[in-house]
């Protein structure tokens, strides 16, 4: 076993659960490894867990391989509406935005909601107004849309489309959980939502306890998967309840995911961490791109049972 | 199974001049919900009927009587949840809708989604044929005056004012004769809130939660605090751990006070028929019909009883 000192800091990252087409698997893996390294760099330099998860999710939002920020899924009208959340385990403070348009990094806007307002969540036009007030530049919607997202959207509009198959191809919500050297815990999650979702659809991501939860006393969770199912079981909070009852991060994650599958037939995945730095990346879907950095070691995987390790300092 | 319905009209420092109207309002809403249950209709129908009655009553901050945001607009949040399937529907920051709880139910029953926000929620309302009403008809004269007078306060004072004068949320929980539970919550939010502010009410696990295996809860109070502790789910977690409904509500409210210094209230009903209405704010108007009697209260530890 690692000593306590070696267990912290730690960061665990996911790039979405679902079925990732073969030609995109490598991109998904490379992206989460890069993001985990980025977040760990902040932690190792003495940065806070909150700074680390926001930086990590920002890297993933900027990477067009994921359904968040640039690369977001398109709604039924071909537009981009994004959801994001951050939570600080020290104070239980949280910030979220839902159905926000034309910002490059919704996770950074969510953090500003937490830091600069008396509220926890701002939605749609109100979130845009706040972004303008904070001096966040508005980006053209086109800059968030990739050819891949547009191809998926068009395919799904076709009369013979199989929405389930199309949906499974890209569920890539992104998220991160971290514990810093001082034992503070944070989580962040960001998504472009479901392909061809209705205008104004809000999924689990910006809903506290569903799309993320962090508490210094218990741990943190960031989930991905079928949003409506995650909401029905308030997945993040559920997993932390199990940890409060003495379950390990891995046991609690598996219990939460199994319950979601049995009770509401929903698949997904989570990254989970406890205050000591014990972490888990678990999923009930076919795949989930994940990566973790702890004690200068980078861990990563994509399929069930996969767990590769390499030095955190090697270029990927 | 003996049906039960519990309703609340918001946990806050209800001024004396609103006391009677608040009590009458929650009693009428509880009776409206119970009438539905007595016909053998579902808990879901009962909580919708009860919350509609509260939304239509201008005394409460939801539907007619809602508060105005910082731009003088009315933005409404609501949710409903069916404990038999864990299905839920919610709307946030929807405008010009008299009964947001009914729109939330349409989201649950007529879409693949659980929540619609802002313009998207209004577009959906249009599609399902829910009529829109002018903002003016939702705002009372008293609200217009209160909004105007608070507008002139400095930001710091306004913050304090907001905390003390949260004019809050309505909600209902019910158990029907088939053992199904449901919850519904609806609100206009906090006066002078930022445009697009979403509070706890439409967030599953915070503003409400319903599960046939444990019970149903609807919350009210300082929204941001309720969100931080996911109050509704926390209460039901205590029930799952073997706590009785009143004890579970008290324990969770106490935790919210200690951990994030937030005041509020909640109503709960369990599949056994056991129910609770508790709060840590100065007052909360609540009422319950549990078969033989109508219970109600406003101040801490009050439980008046009338035979039906």
Max Cα distance, chain A (Å)? 58
The backbone region for B127, taken as left when phi is positive above 0, alpha when psi lies in -120 to 50, beta otherwise, is alpha
Q: What percent of chain B has pLDDT over 90?
A: 88
Based on the structure, what is the number of domains in chain A?
1
Q: Is A228 helix (H, G, I), strand (E, B) or coil?
A: helix
- At A298 the three-state DSSP class reads strand
- CB of A90 within 8 Å of a chain B CB? The answer is no
Q: pLDDT for B172-208, tens place per residue?
A: 999 999 999 999 999 999 888 999 999 999 999 999 9
Whether A85 is covered by a domain: the verdict is yes
**Does the pLDDT value for residue B140 go beyond 80?**
yes
CATH number of the domain bearing residue A295: 3.60.20.30
- Whether CATH 3.60.20.30 fits B4-86+139-307: yes
A165 lies in a domain?
yes
What is the nearest CA distance from A308 to chain B, expressed in angstroms?
36
User: In the β-sheet with B264-269, what is the strand arrangement from edge to edge?
Assistant: B208-211, B215-221, B264-269, B275-279
A64–B contact, CB cutoff 8 A: no
Q: Is A83 annotated as a binding residue?
A: no
What was the pLDDT predicted at A169?
A: 45
Q: Are residues A207 and B194, on separate chains, in Cβ contact within 8 Å?
A: no
pLDDT tens column, A171-201: 679 999 999 999 999 999 999 998 889 999 9
Q: Which residue among the candidates B169, B187, B280, B281 is catalytic per the annotation? A: B169
Q: What residues of chain B lie within 8 A of the CB of A92, using their CB?
A: 228-229, 259-260
Does any CB of chain B come closer than 8 Å to the CB of residue A231? yes
The DSSP line for A38-65 is: HHHHHHHTT--HHHHHHHHHHHHHHSTT
Which domain range does residue A159 map to? 4-302
Cβ of residue A259 closer than 8 Å to a chain B Cβ: no
Could you tell me which residues of B are annotated as the binding site for substrate? 197-200, 220-223
What are the pLDDT digits (tens) for A130-160? 999 999 999 999 999 999 889 888 888 877 6
Kindly report the nearest CA distance between residue A104 and chain B, in angstroms.
Answer: 19
> Residue A314 domain-assigned?
no
- The pLDDT of residue B301 is 94
Specify if A112 maps to a domain. Answer: yes
B132 is catalytic: no
Look up residue B217 and give its two tokens: 């809860």
Query: pLDDT digits over A237-249, tens only?
Result: 999 999 999 999 9
Question: Counting one residue from A and one from B, how many pairs have CB atoms under 8 Å apart?
Answer: 151
Residue A127: closest C-alpha in chain B: B196
- pTM beyond 0.90: the answer is yes
Q: What is the DSSP string of chain B?
A: ---EEEEEEEEE---HHHHHHHHHHHHHHHHHHHHHHHTT--HHHHHHHHHHHHHHSTTSSSSTTPPP-TTS---EEEEEEETTTTEEEEEEEE-S-S-HHHHHHHHHHHSS-SEEEHHHHHHHHHHTTPPP--HHHHS-HHHHHHHHHHHTS-HHHHHHHHHHT----EEEEEE-TTS-EEEEEEE---TTPPTTEE-STTSBTTTEEEETTTEEEEEEE-HHHHHHTTHHHHHHHHHHTT--HHHHHHHHHHHHHHHH---EEEEEE-TTS-EEEEESSSEEEEEEE-SSEEEEESSTT--EEEE-
pLDDT tens, residue by residue, B47-89: 999 999 999 999 999 999 999 999 999 999 999 999 999 999 9
Task: Render pLDDT for B285-300 as a digit per residue (tens, 0 to 9).
Answer: 999 999 879 999 999 9
In a domain, A33, yes or no: yes
pLDDT greater than 80 at residue B163: no
In a domain, A311, yes or no: no
- State yes or no: A225 annotated in a binding site: yes
């Amino acid at each position: 076993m690692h000593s306590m000192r070696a267990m912290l800091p730690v960061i665990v990252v996911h790039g979405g659960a679902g079925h990732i087409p073969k030609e995109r698997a490598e991109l998904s893996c490379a992206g989460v490894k890069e993001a985990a390294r980025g977040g760990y760099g902040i932690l190792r330099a003495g940065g806070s867990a909150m700074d680390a998860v926001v930086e990590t999710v920002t890297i993933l939002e900027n990477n067009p391989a994921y359904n968040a920020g640039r690369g977001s899924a398109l709604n039924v009208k071909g537009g981009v509406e994004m959801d994001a959340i951050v939570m600080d385990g020290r104070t239980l403070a949280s910030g979220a935005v839902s159905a926000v348009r034309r910002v490059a990094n919704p996770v950074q806007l969510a953090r500003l909601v937490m830091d600069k307002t008396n509220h926890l969540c701002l939605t749609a036009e109100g979130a845009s107004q706040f972004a303008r007030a904070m001096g966040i530049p508005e980006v053209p919607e086109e800059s968030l849309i990739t050819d891949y997202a547009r191809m998926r959207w068009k395919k799904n509009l076709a009369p013979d489309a199989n929405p389930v198959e199309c949906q499974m191809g890209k569920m890539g919500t992104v998220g991160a959980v971290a514990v810093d050297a001082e034992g503070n815990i944070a989580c962040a999650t960001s998504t472009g939502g479901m392909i061809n979702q209705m205008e104004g659809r809000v999924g689990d991501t910006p809903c506290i306890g569903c799309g993320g939860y962090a508490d210094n006393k218990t741990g943190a969770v960031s989930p991905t998967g079928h949003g409506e199912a995650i909401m029905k079981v308030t997945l993040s909070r559920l997993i932390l309840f199990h940890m409060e009852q003495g379950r390990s991060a891995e046991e609690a994650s598996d219990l939460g995911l199994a319950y979601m599958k049995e009770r509401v037939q929903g698949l997904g995945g989570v990254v989970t961490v406890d205050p000591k730095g014990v972490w888990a990346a678990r999923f009930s879907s076919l795949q989930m791109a994940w990566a973790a950095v702890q004690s200068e070691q980078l861990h990563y995987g994509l399929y069930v049972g996969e767990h590769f390790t390499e030095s955190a300092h090697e270029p990927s | 199974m003996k049906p039960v319905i519990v309703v609340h009209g918001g946990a806050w420092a209800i001024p004396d001049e609103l006391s009677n109207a608040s009590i009458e309002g929650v009693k009428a809403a509880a009776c409206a919900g119970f009438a539905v249950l007595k016909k053998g209709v579902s808990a879901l129908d009962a909580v919708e009927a009860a919350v509609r009655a509260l939304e239509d009553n201008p005394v409460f901050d939801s539907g007619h009587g809602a508060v105005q945001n910082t731009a003088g607009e009315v933005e409404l949040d609501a949710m409903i949840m069916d404990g038999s399937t864990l299905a839920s529907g919610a709307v946030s920051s929807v405008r010009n809708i008299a009964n947001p709880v009914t729109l939330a139910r349409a989201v649950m029953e007529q879409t693949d989604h659980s929540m619609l926000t802002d313009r998207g929620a209004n577009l959906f309302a249009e599609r399902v044929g829910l009529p829109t009403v002018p903002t003016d008809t939702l705002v009372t004269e008293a609200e217009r005056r209160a909004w105007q007078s608070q507008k002139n306060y400095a930001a710091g004072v306004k913050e304090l004012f907001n905390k003390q004068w949260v004019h809050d949320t309505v909600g209902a929980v019910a158990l029907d004769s088939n053992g199904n539970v449901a919850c519904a919550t609806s609100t206009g939010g906090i006066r002078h809130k930022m445009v697009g502010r979403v509070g706890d009410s439409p967030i599953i696990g915070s503003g409400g939660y319903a599960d046939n295996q444990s019970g149903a809860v609807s919350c009210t109070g300082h929204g941001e605090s309720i969100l931080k502790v996911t109050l509704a789910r926390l209460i039901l977690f205590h029930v799952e751990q073997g706590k009785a409904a009143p004890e579970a509500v008290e324990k969770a409210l106490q935790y919210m006070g200690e951990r994030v210094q937030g005041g509020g209230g909640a109503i709960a009903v369990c599949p056994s028929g056991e129910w609770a209405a508790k709060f840590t704010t100065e007052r909360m108007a609540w009422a319950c019909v549990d078969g033989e009697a109508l219970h109600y209260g406003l101040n801490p530890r009050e439980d008046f009883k009338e035979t039906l």
